[in-house]
Structure 1
Amino acid sequence: MSGNTNTTVAFPGNENWAVWWWNGLENFQLDIVGFLAVLGESAVLANAQVAALSRLFYLPRILPAPQALIRTTRLTSLPSSEGKVTAVASGNFKEHEDRGQKWADFVLRGQRKRTPSNKSDNVPPSLVRAKATGPLTWVTLIGFMEALALFIASIVFGDGMSLIATILLAGLSTIVGICNKWTLELAQPPKGKRENPKGDVVIRFANGSFLIVKCSEHAARELYFAPEEIDYAVKSSAVYRLLSLIGTLMLMLGIVALANAKLYLQIAWAGAYIITNIAHWTAAALPQSTHWDLSCYTIYEEHLSTGPTNGNFTEALWKAILLTQSIKWVRPGGAAPQTKLWDDWLQEALTKAKEAAGVSKMGTVKDGDVCWPSVGGKMPPEYKIWTVPKWDAKKEWDRMNKEWSDEAFPAAG
């Protein structure tokens, strides 16, 4: 290739080498600050549903990625999860969240709290809601204080475009709140029914661990099986779509106004969006138990004498059978293959479990005890320790497997 160019190539150490910063603050460009308004979508969506349970969701505030919450259609249920939940008695089945150690067994006992005016479990004393003093409350208040500060700063510095951006973008969060505000309607038992039978459930996770929840049938249906209903404040789909359209226009016009604000106000806006994105990301990284208020339930953990951990899946399954005194839940939950070998082993495990029925003692919390994460290690002053008898479940399965193999494939001789 021929021809001359006027391009000078500079390398580090060369006399033409220099680092460019900017030609004075007045020439510093921040036109791209509007893009900060639409970043952070995953952090906002992580806790969007629980945040919308609180009335604070109506507050005008700086909200990152508001476009994530002005969809054309709304969710009709809570997100599904991965754990296999099976009722011990009825065999009801549903999928839930995957968590816990590998090949572990945990026991939780839970019930609805009762009020002096309600001595039965037929009517819930309170609803599942967002924590009033949880992390999402502080995230919302941070966004509100930022919007208030930017509104005042826009007036003080006489920046009309920043003032318009504040009104539109902060007001958009209120539109989002109106669109998404909802209450959680849990299934209720039949009126007038005073019977409250046991409704113990077994949750089998993909990693081979089991969680046995000992509760009433009403609590089990409410928490695990009956479909939860999302009751939106704005029930009309047409009204919701109209508000979503208005919100979309407010977002676009707000970003245009922000791009034409004074430099100092754009810097303030950039800082506000960075701070609120950090706040939302931090809230999204926290466990879900820090956001949900489940104070309407009393939940505590019970221990096994051998501890929660096991050496293999067969041992974990055997302890789950011991705690439930049943194998009716094993097939619906897919906890064991449907073979003659496993049928025989399950019957043997149930026999051993029946022999050890009712063997438990009261215990105290000890240092180093492994607690189920969702409970946060909360224990009552006295709780049960389930005594696990000495029976090698895996060794018994191996023995049965060998006998079955010898019968099916006899050695030549």
Structure 2
Amino acid sequence: MLNFPSNRVGWDLQAVGILAVLGEGNIKINALLICLSRTCLLPHLLPAPQGLLVERRARTLQAEEDIIVRSIFSGNVIDGLGYFANILHGPGDGDYVCRVIDLEENPDESYETPCFHLRNLSPLNVIAVSSFLLSIGLVVWAAVIQDGAAVVGIILMSMASPLLCVGSYWKLFLPVPRGQSLHVPKGDVIFRTPSECITVVHCNEAVARAVYFPPRRLHYVFKSWLGLSIGGIGGGLTMIGGIIMLSNSTWTMQAALVVAYALLNIAYWFAAVISLRMPRVFWHWRIKAAIQETQGESYLHVLWLAIQASRTTSWALQGDFIPQMDYWKDWLAVAESHIDDNLWDYQTALQDAIRRQQDKAAETFNRNTSGNQT
């Protein structure tokens, strides 16, 4: 027969210490967004606040690697598809797909702010403010029932969060494009993914600089290592003291804290999922994106579609879009002269280019052989 404690005193709720440090992965995923908002400086309960501790500060926003973004006209080149470009349209996942994207600033919105900014009512801000109010409520409840250990423990755990955030608190500085008030040249960009998806983006230079070539360095409020060290040490010691105090609080407050931390863990788990799947919930942007995809039959077909979309072949010679062989360069020259011809047989043209190069090679070989014999 199974036996269970007959009263609540028999139940040991030391799990509150575990719940206080559980969910570190969710905090790490959202650490940059948490430390971007001023709400991170509010004293509030945060599951696994140690997830905010980093060995070194992030220097840039996360970018999609293995992609080289090139400006078709200005010559700008950057490694990695930037964070905000990923938010707008992503790198493209299809095999042998040509994507044509039109980006333009929304004329119905103000031009006094950068193209991207964090929403005031983003999920992380709502959770932080709710946790701040929850922490106040728990402190008042603990004081009413005269649970001194709980009062001190909740205050210490609530202070651990802002202390740990101090060293990583940063601000986002992006250019403010004014594409409608000034004459801005074309800033079309192009990039290719490992899955042979080529994306051609039509936009002006101001939008291109804001989305694809912005300054990526993060501007930390406390720039010296001292701020990071003091925040980390102070926050870590405060968290340890808080866990000790909470472990010695009354059964009632431990039960309340178990529920509170469980709810906060669930909230931050959802926030982590939403930040990856639905970035618009976190960010507001005033750039409209119209995306058109065409499935190609082969990489050669995708390349031809991209040439027609970009109206030039200059970009194809600058990167790894084509092998550096003479017959490919010959094919590109012919392709540019047929950009407006939708019936042009690009496959036969490549075969003809290969044949011409072979004939030239054979002619050169025969000439050299005849000269040597002579």
Indicate whether the TM-score tops 0.5.
Answer: yes
State the AA in 2 paired with 1:246.
Answer: G
1:326, distance to aligned residue in structure 2 (A): 2.0
Q: Which residue of structure 2 lines up, in the alignment, with residue 49 of structure 1?
A: 32
**CA-CA distance at 1:246 after TM superposition:** 0.8
Q: Which residue of 1 aligns with 2:189?
A: 201
SS at match of 2:201: strand
In the alignment, the residues of structure 2 paired with residue 333 and residue 149 of structure 1 have an alpha-carbon distance, to the nearest angstrom, of 60
Q: Counterpart amino acid of 1:45?
A: K
Structure 1 residue 235: Cα displacement: 2.9
Q: CA deviation at 1:160?
A: 1.5
Q: CA deviation at 1:324?
A: 1.0
Structure 1 residues 106 and 277 mapped into 2: Cα distance closer, same or farther (>3 Å)? same
Cα distance in 2 for partners of 1:392, 1:160 equals 83
Q: Give me the whole-angstrom Cα distance separating, in 2, the residues matched to 1:20 and 1:310.
A: 67
Alignment of 1:13-412 (within 5 A): 18-22=1-5, 24-82=7-65, 83-94=67-78, 95-96=80-81, 97=86, 98-112=91-105, 125-126=113-114, 128-187=116-175, 196-286=184-274, 287=277, 289-295=279-285, 297-301=286-290, 303=292, 307-353=293-339, 355=340, 389-391=342-344, 393-394=346-347, 396-397=349-350
Determine if contact 1:72/1:244 at 8 Å carries over to the other structure.
no
Relative distance call for 1:232 and 1:348 in structure 2 (3 A) is: same
C-alpha distance in 1 between matches for 2:62 and 2:137:
36
Question: In the superposition, relative to structure 1, how do residues 186 and 144 fare at CA in structure 2: closer, same or farther (>3 Å)?
Answer: same
Q: What is the CA–CA distance in structure 2 between the aligned matches of 1:115 and 1:106, rounded to whole Å?
A: 26
Which whole-Å CA distance do the structure 2 matches of 1:47 and 1:393 have between them?
A: 47
- SS of aligned partner of 1:299: strand
Using the alignment, how far apart are the partners of 2:48 and 2:252 within structure 1?
Answer: 23
The residue aligned with 2:371 is none
SS in 2 for 1:34: helix
Return the alpha-carbon distance in structure 2 between the equivalents of residues 23 and 400 of structure 1: 88
Q: Which amino acid aligns with 1:293?
A: W
Runs of at least 4 residues of structure 1 off by over 6 A? 114-118, 402-409
Name the CA distance, whole Å, in 2 between partners of 1:114 and 1:225.
Answer: 22
1:24 CA displacement? 4.0
Question: Distance between the aligned counterparts of 2:346 and 2:125, measured in 1?
Answer: 49
Distance 1:403 1:260 in 2: 86
Distance 2:159 2:33 in 1: 21
Q: Deviations over 1:84-138 (max 9, x none)?
A: 31111133222115443332222332344679997xxxxx643632112232233
Q: 1:315, 1:392 within 8 Å by CA — same for their partners in 2? A: no
SS at match of 1:84: strand
Q: What RMSD over aligned residues (CA atoms) do the two structures have, in Å?
A: 3.2
Q: Deviation at 1:399?
A: 6.3
Distance (Å, rounded) in 1 between the aligned partners of 2:261 and 2:358: 66
Amino acid across the alignment from 1:316 = V
Whether the aligned pair in 2 keeps the contact of 1:128 and 1:292 (CA below 8 Å) is no
Q: Which structure shows the higher helix fraction?
A: 2
Letter in 1 for 2:73: A
| Residues 345 and 184 of structure 1, relative CA distance in 2, 3 Å threshold | same
Instruction: Using structure 2 for the length normalisation, give the TM-score.
Output: 0.81
Deviation at 1:350, TM superposition (A): 2.5
Q: CA–CA distance in 2 between the matches of 1:395 and 1:45?
A: 53
Counterpart Cα distance in 1 of 2:48 and 2:16: 13
| Structure 1 residue 393 displacement after superposition | 4.0
Distance verdict in 2 for CA 1:66–1:398, change over 3 Å: farther
8 Å contact kept, 2:15–2:258 = no
- Assess if the C-alpha contact under 8 Å between 1:72 and 1:241 holds in 2: no
The amino acid that maps onto 1:68 is: G
Task: Name the CA distance, whole Å, in 2 between partners of 1:271 and 1:394.
Answer: 66
Runs (5+) with no aligned partner, structure 2: 363-374
Moved more, 214-223 or 243-252: 214-223
Check 1:227–1:26 CA distance in 2 against 1; reply closer, same or farther (3 A cut). same
Contact 1:70 1:244 in 2 (8 A): yes
Change beyond 3 A, Cα 1:99–1:278: farther
**What is the total number of aligned residue pairs between the two structures?**
349
Identity %: 27
Matched-pair contact (CA < 8 Å) for 2:114–2:176:
no
Helix, strand or coil: the match of 1:225?
coil
Q: Distance in 2 between matches of 1:127 and 1:176?
A: 29
Kindly tell me: are residues 405 and 238 of structure 1, through their superposed partners in 2, closer, same or farther at Cα, counting changes over 3 Å? Answer: same
